[in-house]
Every structure is written in structure tokens, then in C-alpha cells.
Amino acid sequence: MDTELLLRNFLDEKKRLKQYPVKRKMKIYALIYLAGKFESGRDYSQSEINDILNDWSLFNDAATLRRELCDNRFLNRTSDGRTYRLEETQPTPAELGIDSF
């Protein structure tokens, strides 16, 4: 199913997240949506990650989104936390314990 369609109640007219969903299922779909805003094979600084997350969300909590993206294996980071990269293989909702719609 189309992630934007699932998140329609959470997106504004410019397709930015208006709020971070409370329910885990919708959080995972929000993370899938945000992970799609990063380029594969590119290294990002923490500042670049924050800028992208702030561009695609309206609630100014890039730290939470960044942590959730890493904790759920959408992004990885070096041990010193300076460099982030989109995971080559993105986790599926099923791998994260979420039933599909």
C-alpha cells in the first residue's frame, strides 16, 4: 500500500509530517516515509540528517526521528555518531513486527 495514502491524516498539503503518530504501526509507516527522503550510498552528517528531517516534518524533533530511524534500522551511523547512512536493505513492516494493512 502507498505510504503517503496511509499517512494522509498526518501529512500537510506539502507532504510534511504534521505530527509523529502515537500508534506503533503508524510510526513505522512514518519512518518508512521519512527514510525515503534519503539517498542510498550517501554519507550524511548529523546536521544534514536534522535538516532533512526538519524539512519533512513540522514538529521540530529531529533528534527523536533520527534516533527512531537508527533504532529501527532505516539509518545506521558510525560508532562516533558523526556519519549516517541509509541502510542498503530497508526493514519491512513485517520484520518490525507490524501487520500490513
Over its length of 101 residues, how does the chain's per-residue pLDDT go in tens digits?
Answer: 689 999 999 999 999 999 999 999 999 999 999 999 999 999 999 999 999 999 999 999 999 999 999 999 999 999 998 999 999 999 999 999 998 66
Contact criterion met (CB below 8 Å) for 59 and 20: yes
d(CA 22, CA 38): 23
CA proximity to 25, closest of 98, 82, 101: 98
pTM of the model: 0.94
Topology (CATH) of 3-96: Arc Repressor Mutant, subunit A (1.10.10)
Q: All 3 cell numbers of residue 38? A: 534519503
Q: Where are the domains of the chain?
A: 3-96
